Amino acid sequence: MCKVTIVFDNYSTSPGLGASWGYAAIIEFKNRKFLFDTGGEAEILQKNLKALGESLKDVEAIILSHNHWDHTGGLSWVVSQLKNPVVYAGESYVNELKKDFHEIRPHPVGKQPVKILDGLYLTEEMEGPVKEVSLFLESQKGIVIITGCAHPGAVNIVKRVKELTGEAPFLLLGGIHLYRASKHEIKRVDEELKALGVKYLGVSHCTGEEAISYFESSWGERFLKVGVGSVINIKEGVI
Ligand SMILES: [Zn+2]
Ligand SMILES: [Zn+2]
């Protein structure tokens, strides 16, 4: 079982769900549940979870991609909802977290990739304008990567995961921070992701309107237009 439900995003799939700057997704894998990032605002996250009939009750760990408000904004509320909150986050960010949240059990992600369970992993905290951790998992159809903002660069992250798994990724989800990128840069990323063998692209959040429309026409059916409310159920197909 591999299911990703986007619960916070800049884009929404239904008027009943709040779209706002940020990203959060619930990952259900092998009957276990994880939360990847917490969005920009607790109130919107809460509203979206309710509208989607989702609950954090069985979430066994929170994964924080990086220390930016649009990924950590819902953290206080999320932590208050969990009994024994386990938090995976970059080493550079963990000390700060420990100061603010005494109740969490921090798992620092340093210079080595981390295995959360068989088939579900985090990259090391990759260098970039902002250090960041990305998630990757082995689904029935292939490797799925989820990024927060992809500050170390979407191409670098995909390259790294490909190096670690020895496989071309099946699907790339998350934000890839091209909202201020030039046409030239968008084109370069597009070409490199294709050359790396990425099969499907479901990027949203800080990817930006221009890059999203570019990918839509360039990837055709291989581009998944996703937002809050999108459920990516790998077993049953792509979306
Ligand atoms: Zn972001
Ligand atoms: Zn960011």
The ligand placed nearest to the CA atom of residue 204 is 1
- Between the CA of 100 and the centroid of ligand 2 the distance, in Å, is 20
User: Would you say residue 14 lies in a domain?
Assistant: yes
User: What confidence score (pLDDT) does residue 122 get?
Assistant: 98
- Between the CA of 236 and the centroid of ligand 2 the distance, in Å, is 31
- Between the CA of 122 and the centroid of ligand 1 the distance, in Å, is 18
- Between the CA of 149 and the centroid of ligand 1 the distance, in Å, is 4
- Between the CA of 127 and the centroid of ligand 2 the distance, in Å, is 13
Sign of CA dihedral 170, 176, 178, 179: positive
Range of the domain at 41: 2-233
Contact of 231 with 4, CB cutoff 8 Å: yes
pLDDT at 238 over 90: no
Average pLDDT over residues 35-58: 97
Average pLDDT over residues 54-81: 96
Domain count, the chain: 1
- Between the CA of 148 and the centroid of ligand 1 the distance, in Å, is 6
At 203, give phi and psi (nearest 5°): -85, 145
Nearest residue to 122 (alpha-carbon basis) of 74, 80, 67, 161: 161
User: Would you say residue 63 lies in a domain?
Assistant: yes
The pLDDT tens digits of the residues spanning 126-140 come to 999 999 999 999 999
User: Would you say residue 212 lies in a domain?
Assistant: yes
Q: How far apart are CA 53 and CA 32, in angstroms?
A: 17
User: Would you say residue 37 lies in a domain?
Assistant: yes
The pLDDT tens digits of the residues spanning 187-233 come to 999 999 999 999 999 999 999 999 999 999 999 999 999 999 999 99
Q: Which residues share a beta bridge with 35?
A: 26, 62
Q: How far apart are CA 75 and CA 97, in angstroms?
A: 10
User: Would you say residue 239 lies in a domain?
Assistant: no
User: Would you say residue 114 lies in a domain?
Assistant: yes
The DSSP bridge pattern shows strands 105-109 and 114-117 to be unpaired
Q: Which residues share a beta bridge with 28?
A: 3, 33
User: Would you say residue 65 lies in a domain?
Assistant: yes
Q: What is the CATH number of the domain that holds 183?
A: 3.60.15.10
User: Would you say residue 90 lies in a domain?
Assistant: yes
Question: Given its phi and psi angles, is residue 198 left (phi above 0), alpha (psi -120 to 50 degrees) or beta?
Answer: beta
User: What confidence score (pLDDT) does residue 237 get?
Assistant: 58
Q: How far apart are CA 195 and CA 49, in angstroms?
A: 36
- Between the CA of 32 and the centroid of ligand 1 the distance, in Å, is 25
pLDDT range class, residue 235, cuts 50, 70, 90: confident
The 3-state DSSP class for residue 80 equals helix
User: What is the model's pTM?
Assistant: 0.97
- Give me the residue label for tokens 């291989």: 222
Look over the chain and give the mean of its residue pLDDT values, rounded to a whole number: 96
List Cβ neighbours of 99 (8 Å cut-off, separation of 6 or more). none
